[in-house]
Amino acid sequence: MVEQQNIDWALIRKQLPFEKTPQQEAQRDELWRLIDINANSYVSLAELDKGLRDVLHCYQIFECKPAIIRAFTAAKGAVNNKKAHGDYYIDRSEFRLALLYLRQYFEYFQAFARVDTDDDRRIDKQEFISAKAKIEKWTGPIKNADAAFREIDKNNGGFILFDEFCDWAIKKNLDLEDDDD
């Protein structure tokens, strides 16, 4: 589990140029060139992972594998285009979204980790209920914690898994960035 730490969100935003500005587009072009080490016009999960460490120097995100996997998976199907190499890679048209999703899912992972107090990569009902006030700072009011837990636990496994938490966080527009918890 990623150790609880203060996150420098401004640095994360600087390291992941996902905005639609000419300056950040130029930064993405250079990053793409450096991350696509084979110059084959597509990037694998392993190349993106290595790029986070060696090119972007996003060490906090590099250590957060569930966020990387979730972001890569979301990005590789986000643009409707025909890929010569199938849906196992991201191409240049999906790269901006990959950077955006890396930031988003890293934030969700940080929230998830703050609720998962026993670090078993799943949130049980007691952890969720105990963290209700904290979660409400990120998502707004939760009227019934039991009902919310059941809603999030899509597979009815008795635990909230990271993917389930992400699906709910997206719907709730979870915002952790300015929370100093």
Ranking 64-73, 80-89, 112-121, 124-133 by mean pLDDT, the lowest is 80-89
The pLDDT score that the predictor gives to residue 167 is 96
The pLDDT score that the predictor gives to residue 85 is 65
When computed from its CA atoms, the radius of gyration of the chain, rounded to whole angstroms, is 17
Q: Is 59 exposed, middle or buried (0-12, 13-18, 19+ CB in 10 A)?
A: exposed
The pLDDT score that the predictor gives to residue 177 is 64
Question: Residue 2: helix, strand or coil by DSSP?
Answer: coil
Cα(116)–Cα(160) distance, integer angstroms: 9
